Chain A
Amino acid sequence: MRRGFALLETIIVITFVTVSLLLLYGTFTSLIAKKEKNILYDDASNIYQMYYLKEYLELNGLNDLNTDSIIELSCDNFSSSGCSLLFQEFSLEHLYLVSYGLKDYDEEKFSSTFNQYYQSLSNNDAYDYLFVGEFKIEDAYHYASIGVTRE
């Protein structure tokens, strides 16, 4: 009569346990990655910075810019030199004007972090444009956006 486990039985059990643990690991890491990304998106401080930046730039030429896709904005687009100061103070790396509700665009022209943020947005409101800011804070890219309505 045989007692204890055979090698084959042990291997099968260990393989089963390993697969279960790997599945668990995959689930945890994807949940954690999602949570980490959400922390970087639409922080309250960044949203108010975007609001004031929009209000200020609307006085300096933002209302003259139009697009049916996405345009990357720089301070050259605006008549005020205060724009550069605000970019620096807010740790802004890039600023985009996006046609609201845009579904298809050339993703290769933009960073993967921008694409992930843009795809996370619901687009359920009624704006003409979305004003998106990319902030570089402690080596991580944070994003915030607010809607723009044209008269």
Chain B
Amino acid sequence: MKRGFTILELLISIVLISVVLLLLLRVMMSLEVINHDTSYASDDEISRTEIIKNIQESFLDNHLNGINISKDDDKTMITFMMDEEKTLEVSSKTLKFDGETYSLNSKNATYDTCIDYEYKALENDYYFVTFTIPVLIDGENTTSRDDLIFTYIGLINENTSYPSNYTC
């Protein structure tokens, strides 16, 4: 009468279970990598889109004519000179614009108060301006996918007033 496993049966079972566990491990590792890459995007994707839309729409509605950037210790103020002047206040965890406050929900994420700014002249009196508010994960700008990038192309007139460059 046979009881339990023979050594061969045990070996075959262990090999098969190992294969299954290896497959499972591969799945878990790929999920972990993906989760790390997209953790910010999934938590703050909607509010990021909302901020970009609100600010870009106000550029279109109110005709952006100039920008003024000033920095304190812990926050940066960006004043947009438009038909109606508006200010964007950037601090490490929040953005304030037009009476609205947007807070970061993602774990370990902060706004970099050192913004990137660029102004360039185009042909026929047009100009191009862009500024970026980088998003840091654990203090590092791991991907530009999360950054808030704003763009404007306009026609130079007597009221146009932009800094030619800005260094934080």
Contacts and interface: CB of A to CB of B under 8 A. Distances in A.
Interface in A1-33: 1-7, 10-11, 14, 17-18, 21-22, 24-25, 28-29, 32
B68 interface: no
Secondary structure type dominating chain B contacts: helix
A5 B3 CA distance: 9
A10 B12 CA distance: 9
Contacts of A32: 30-31, 34
Contacts of A7: 5, 8-9, 12-13
Secondary structure type dominating chain A contacts: helix
A54 B75 CA distance: 34
Given A2-B1, A4-B4, A21 B16 contact: no
Interface of A: 1-7, 10-11, 14, 17-18, 21-22, 24-25, 28-29, 32, 35-36, 39, 43-45, 48-49, 52-53, 55-56, 59, 80-82, 85-86, 89-90, 137-138
Interface of B: 1-5, 8-9, 12-13, 16-17, 19-20, 23-24, 26-27, 30-31, 34, 38, 41, 45, 48-49, 52-53, 56, 118, 120, 122-124, 126, 128, 130, 143-145, 148-153
Given A55-B153, A56-B126, A85-B128, 7 more contacts: A7-B5, A7-B8, A10-B9, A21-B24, A22-B23, A39-B145, A53-B153
